[in-house]
A and B are shown apart, each in its own frame.
Chain A
Amino acid sequence: MTGVLSLVLWLPAAGALVLLAVPRERVAALRVTALAVALLDLAAAVAAGAWIDPARAGTLQLVERVPWIPSIGISYHLGADGLSLPLVVLTALLVVLCVAYSWRVETRVKDYMILLLLLHTGLIGVFLAQDLFLFYVFWEVSLVPMYFLIGIWGGPRRGYAAMKFFLYTLAGSLAMLLAILVVYLHATPRTFDLVELVARRPLAQNLPLAVLAFWGFFLGFGVKVPLFPFHTWLPDAYAEAPTAGSVLLAGVLSKLGAYGFIRIVLPLLPDAFRQFAGLTAVLAVIGAVYGGFVALAQTDFKRMIAYSSVGHLGYVMLGVAAAAAAGGGAALGDAAGKALTGATLQMLAHGIITGALFLVAGVLADGQARTGNLTEFGGLWARVPVLSGVAVLAMLASLGLPGLMGFVAEFLIFLGAYQVFPALTVLALVGVVLTVAYFLWAIYRLFFGPLNARWAALPDLDGRERWVLAPLCGVMVVVGMYPGPLVAMINAAVTNILGLVR
């Protein structure tokens, strides 16, 4: 059954076109249409997931391939496997929740919803594209709506944050464009098709050039993840973005970089990546520890989550780097598989958990509290038990409490990475300890202690907000308790990618 992936990809863009025709005063119609489109897309994504044969999750399925610019060797090539499909479903889910959460957005609703849906198409496209050119186009296309979401609906320093976000990412992605061109120009026959390129590996015999291409990809993906020291755009963008923007930035956009490392760099430039895997791991661990320390010092809720993301993405990159370093040797093949499966699962877990955290922060900051300053809260548990419960659940999941989604992921990463980078993995555990510290402290500052009299009338989550947060909590618990099928699916895809590495 082909065409499903195209449906998943283009439905939101088509929805955006429909919204264009709705008059801007009809706010309710705009919201309902956007939500309907997002829900339909989620249904399509889930259907695509059901279509995929889990036994063959390692190979690309539902493939669509049509020549697009044949004289250059570019095709419209989509495909999904156990790596990309969970990320697509995650994206579709988070967009649904973002649209539903964004009911409270009152200004320029039409533009907002259109941009959200365009962003949706761009993000899905990155995960489904199996052609480097197509990949790059979606990669860049997803920047523009996000720029506007931050720049128009963001916090007080939105202009600065939006520009910084765009400039950093564009600089990185232009470097990636050079790398793509280098790969393309050395392939015979010339093609941008990722599957063919991976099979032929044009730079395998030319290590200096492969290293050059590696650095191009490294800059592009490293800025997006973001790896230390390219992370400085992140706290500004995460904190200034409107809540839905933060959720998608943290939940999906940060995954694009790690996904690029796994999907493109690992199979295409394995030798170059192995050479710099140690460096990548060091940067990842620096990010994990540094992110933890800085998060500890934050008083703003959103900024704390932002820096905690720097830390969590550090674990992801540690897993990827371990897989890259181990890829060559059969002895470490098992460790590489565990680390990479863990990294992918951590991407999903981070998307779900951080999404929930940003939504909770959004409820406080956009709602009646009108502040995200942790020091001004206290004793909220008695006043708003549901909100508190959700927040505590998400924080515990984030700090890696066994039985919740984050634990499975981190456990697998550290299990795999320890066999490759023992010292660095132990250092990364410092980051875990810091995570425990700042989240417990945040729980204390927000929910325990005496109730600040200012919040005596603070309302709890309303019905819509409960509906938005319930699915995320459900996923956290279910995957935490019963990770088997998801892990098996990811593992199949990852094993295939690592098989290509070997």
Chain B
Amino acid sequence: MDLRLIAPELWLGVLSLGLLIVELLTGPDGKRLVGWIGVIGLVLALAPSWALLGEPPRLLFAGAYAVDAFAAFFKLVAVLSGILVLLAAMAFFRGRPGGHEGEVYTLIVFMVLGLVAMAASADLILLFLVIEFVSLVSYVLAGSLKADAKSSEAGVKYFFFGAVASAIMLYGFSYLYGAGGTTNLYRLGPRLASFPEPFVVVAAALVLAGLGFKISLVPFHQWTPDVYEGAPAPVTAFLSVGSKAAAFAALARVLYVALPPGAWVPVLAALAAVTMSVGNLLALSQQNIKRMLAYSSIAQAGYMMIGVVALTASPTQVGSGIAAVLYYLLAYVFTNAGAFAVVVAAERLLGSDTIADYVGFGRRAPLAAFAMTVFMLSLTGIPPTALFWGKLSLFGAALQSGLAWLAIVGILNSAASLYYYLGVVRVMYAQAPVDAVPASEGALMRVLLVVAAGATLVLGIYPEPFVRLVQRASLLLRV
């Protein structure tokens, strides 16, 4: 077998195991070394992942593991989000001794490995194992500030919700296996096609419980605000961009490959509408920035679902739902990870997660406040930012697939979301308190913010290369 095809996975495996050893060998003051090795290693992982974009699609390991541009795209997304999150974590731990700094860095890289594999799984058993792998790492990461009661609570809550969701999903897998007689997604497809529709819908609903949990889809979203609030901000960022993206990849593969088209569309379209509306309504009244971003991430999941259910157009056209989702996820990685990076910076400078305490932030930390403005405008979907282009593609896909009502729901929600996104901006630039003195975000944080905000703007102003990229990545989805 050509090892090049699994080079990213091999490299990430070596990297994470190596980090475990480095972590053991470094003293309590030297943990940043672990972080830097992790960052460099992840940057190096981009090259083999990029190389796979052009590979002809094929299945490896007895059909259990897919190598196609779709999987390669999500490898890039997972690694990019890993880099951003790792940098944010290093900024988070600066001058915050104790805790489990080295372990957190290492686990982040482990989780990237899991996310990479999740997007490529083509077999129910492998998929389940990978999801469990990612979940267990996330539970530990969410509870990693052991001295902090909220963080521990987040870890435990996430674990219990996650365990139940996994169990239900596994039950759904057993339906699929029982009907199709195989666990391979690509062999399941033709065999399930002849099954009665209600059966397929039930199976899809059960599977959705597990993946919907990771995506924060209503009604599997209840864990989101508490976990987002309690977990350390960099970990929250990872849950909101990395896990979500990989779960969307797995969901898309299961839905498009294994399940007959059509049956699940109305259910998921309704869930998309409910998800964005619930997320937005609950976000309106939030006082805590992390809880606000939690509900915002629920709403964003709802927008992305529009693309998943908009099936009609061929993937190379505008109006292709899956291409829109891929673009949205890529844009969302930079925007949302950036927003959480600002939360990290603000926690450090202001000592608070309350939105009202951001008063004068524009004066104290102009760069972070400007970056946050870009991220909030992007989340609202205002040009020239990345998610504007994402939303445009999603709504276009909905119109193209005859789901105009879903586009209208999306638009109403986008308008409403302006209120709470702009609320943050309004507070930041309100008259500063008298004692507001400029404070430095730190060099590392500055670099991170410039990269994230820059990427958010570039994806919004010159989307052409990225549009081509997602078209290629979505075209090769069906092996």
Q: What is A's interface to B at a CB cutoff of 8 Å?
A: 68-72, 136-137, 140-141, 143-144, 147-148, 151-152, 159, 162-163, 166-167, 170-171, 174-175, 177-178, 181-182, 184-185, 190, 212
Contacts and interface: CB of A to CB of B under 8 A. Distances in A.
Given A137-B383, A140-B383, A185-B319, 18 more contacts: A69-B462, A69-B463, A70-B464, A141-B384, A159-B426, A174-B411, A175-B411, A177-B411, A178-B395, A178-B407, A178-B411, A181-B395, A181-B396, A182-B399, A184-B318, A185-B396, A190-B318, A212-B404
Contacts of A166: 418, 422
Interface string B220-235: 0000000000000000
Nearest to B389: A69
B426 A167 contact: no
B382 A140 contact: yes
Contacts of A184: 318, 396
B468 interface: yes
B429 A148 contact: yes
A143 B425 CA distance: 14
Contacts of A181: 392, 395-396, 399, 407
A163 B426 contact: yes
22 contacts: A71-B467, A71-B471, A147-B422, A152-B429, A152-B430, A162-B426, A163-B422, A166-B418, A167-B415, A167-B418, A170-B380, A170-B414, A174-B411, A174-B414, A174-B415, A178-B399, A178-B407, A181-B395, A181-B396, A181-B399, A185-B396, A185-B399
B408 interface: yes
Interface of B: 318-319, 377, 380, 382-384, 388, 392, 395-396, 399-400, 404, 407-408, 411-412, 414-415, 418-419, 422, 426, 429-430, 462-464, 467-468, 471
B464 A69 contact: yes
A55 B408 CA distance: 45
B359 to A, nearest CB: 12
A447 to B, nearest CB: 36
Main secondary structure of the interface of A (DSSP, over half): helix
Nearest to A133: B392
B377 to A, nearest CB: 7
Closest 5 CB pairs of A and B: A171-B415, A174-B411, A137-B383, A69-B464, A181-B396
B411 A143 contact: no
A295 B411 CA distance: 34
A170 B413 CA distance: 11
B433 to A, nearest CB: 15
B467 to A, nearest CB: 5
A188 to B, nearest CB: 12
A71 B319 CA distance: 12
Contact of B392 (A148, A170, A177): A177
Contact of A151 (B377, B399, B426): B426
Contacts of A72: 318, 467
Nearest to A212: B404
Contacts of A141: 383-384
A166 B412 CA distance: 14
Nearest to A107: B431
Contacts of A167: 415, 418-419
Contacts of B467: 69, 71-72
B384 A137 contact: yes
Contacts of B412: 171
A249 to B, nearest CB: 18
B400 A185 contact: yes
B311 to A, nearest CB: 15
B115 to A, nearest CB: 28
Contact of B382 (A69, A143, A185): A143
B250 to A, nearest CB: 28
Nearest to B391: A177
A150 B55 CA distance: 53
A170 B429 contact: no
A471 B467 CA distance: 48
A182 B395 CA distance: 10
Nearest to A136: B383
A70 B471 CA distance: 14
A210 to B, nearest CB: 14
Nearest to B410: A174
Contacts of A148: 429
A174 B417 CA distance: 12
A151 B318 contact: no
A170 B429 CA distance: 21
B60 to A, nearest CB: 31
A163 B419 contact: yes
A137 B412 CA distance: 19
A468 B422 CA distance: 34
A307 to B, nearest CB: 26
Query: Which among B377, B399, B414 has the greatest number of chain A C-beta atoms within 10 A?
Result: B399
A154 to B, nearest CB: 12
B361 to A, nearest CB: 14
B416 to A, nearest CB: 8
A133 B412 CA distance: 20
Given A69-B463, A181-B395, A144 B377 contact: yes
Contacts of B418: 166-167, 170
Contacts of B414: 170, 174
A182 B411 CA distance: 14
Contacts of B380: 170
A42 B131 CA distance: 61
A186 to B, nearest CB: 10
A171 B407 CA distance: 13
A212 B405 CA distance: 12
Contacts of A70: 464
B470 to A, nearest CB: 10
Contacts of A170: 380, 382, 414-415, 418
Query: Which among A137, A143, A174, A182 has the greatest number of chain B C-beta atoms within 10 A?
Result: A174
B471 to A, nearest CB: 7
Nearest to B362: A111
Contact of B395 (A140, A177, A212): A177
A490 to B, nearest CB: 30
Given A71-B468, A72-B318, A144 B382 contact: yes
Contacts of A174: 411, 414-415
A268 to B, nearest CB: 17
A11 to B, nearest CB: 18
A227 to B, nearest CB: 18
Nearest to A139: B383
A175 B429 CA distance: 29
B374 to A, nearest CB: 10
Contacts of A143: 382
Contacts of A136: 383
A171 B467 CA distance: 26
A272 to B, nearest CB: 16
A181 B384 CA distance: 17
B255 to A, nearest CB: 24
A181 B408 CA distance: 12
